[in-house]
Amino acid sequence: MLVGLLADTHDRLPAIAALLGRMADRGVGVVLHAGDYCAPFALAPFIDAQVAIAGVFGKNDGDREGLRAKAAQAFALELFESPHSFEFGGKRILVVHDLGDVNDRSIEAHQLVVSGCTHRQEQSRRGESLLVNPGEGCGWLHGVPSAAIVDLDSMQVEMIQLTGDEWR
């Protein structure tokens, strides 16, 4: 099962839409978002894509009630406080905005840990846990919107980076 990973989209609608399109082309049916959507209007591309989303709030999500209200209008879009732990596709998953907010024991209790905050694509292992930061969906800091796709069956990760032609 392919799952899309996003974080730090920071209101950049064309990049969000392009990343979701790239994920849809690969057969992704569910997206996990590690926070920092920013404003409620930033959820519009997710709603338009009609893909199931589970995400957590980040440090720059100031209007949480507005985000919750917008999410309530959507097809299968749920927002939680960070960190959020759940089971999906037979895997224990932790979605957290800032990895520094959770301890090693919590990380190691999950097979997949999705984080954001740093705006850098990263992949590592800690014991049996796969840690993935999909980077910045917005591209504001590093100039390249990024995301990731993880295959929950093989636990293989594909990092995605958009070119300017895809989203501008």
The domain spans of the chain are 2-167
Average pLDDT, the chain: 95
Please name the residue ranges forming H helices in 13-90: 13-26, 44-49, 64-72
71 Cβ partners below 8 Å, 6+ apart?
A: 43, 53, 77, 78, 79
Q: Are 79 and 67 in contact (CB under 8 A)?
A: yes
Is the pLDDT score of 12 beyond 80?
yes
The percentage of the chain sitting over the pLDDT mark of 90, rounded to a whole number, equals 90
Is the pLDDT score of 75 beyond 90?
no
Q: How does residue 168 score in pLDDT terms, banded at 50, 70 and 90?
A: confident
pLDDT digits (tens, 9 = 90+) for 139-164: 999 999 999 999 999 999 999 999 98
pLDDT digits (tens, 9 = 90+) for 82-122: 999 999 999 999 999 999 999 999 999 999 999 999 999 99
Write the burial class of residue 48 (CB in 10 Å: 0-12 exposed, 13-18 middle, 19+ buried).
middle
How many Å apart are CA 53 and CA 39, to the nearest integer? 16
Q: Which fold has domain 2-167?
A: Purple Acid Phosphatase; chain A, domain 2 (3.60.21)
What pLDDT score was predicted for residue 11? 96
What pLDDT score was predicted for residue 2? 97
Predicted TM-score (pTM) of the model is: 0.96
68 Cβ partners below 8 Å, 6+ apart?
A: 79
117 Cβ partners below 8 Å, 6+ apart?
A: 7, 8, 34, 35, 36, 58, 59, 97, 98, 99, 100, 133
In the sheet that holds 112-115, the strands lie side by side as: 84-88, 91-96, 112-115, 129-134, 121-126
